[in-house]
Homo-oligomer: A and B are copies of this chain.
């Protein structure tokens, strides 16, 4: 049992669910990987788990905070929650596609505050910024910047 598997087991038990080989397999397919689509996840199980079960497992994982869905355009990808990876946000370069992580406590505080002002209880959030990195800012034409 890895450390991560132990955390998973505890989370499942604490919520009254059992530890099954299928749940462990799905979890291990997600750990350490880039966010993946449902299709990719299903593919990677190589027919070892039924499609319906995978949907049920991800539904459960979402519910008890093991996974979360990351929205990409009008599709979504699945990734493990911050319990299993460091919470962070990104600056993405529209030209060279470099991804620069942001990790600002200020930002977190600001967002939390922003929500609570309206009687809202914030649970999760996303911040993504697209633009041009230092390098590409120099090369990109004014026309392109003005769109």
Contacts and interface: CB of A to CB of B under 8 A. Distances in A.
Nearest to A59: B74
A120 B145 contact: no
Interface in A110-141: 110-111, 114-115, 118-134, 137, 140
A44 to B, nearest CB: 19
Nearest to A104: B114
A102 B123 contact: no
Contacts of A134: 118-120
Contacts of A132: 120-121, 123
**Number of copies of this chain that the complex holds:** 2
A56 to B, nearest CB: 14
Interface of A: 64-65, 69, 71, 73-74, 76, 91, 93-94, 100, 102, 104, 106-107, 110-111, 114-115, 118-134, 137, 140, 145, 147
10 contacts: A69-B74, A71-B74, A100-B120, A104-B114, A107-B114, A115-B131, A122-B130, A122-B131, A125-B128, A125-B129
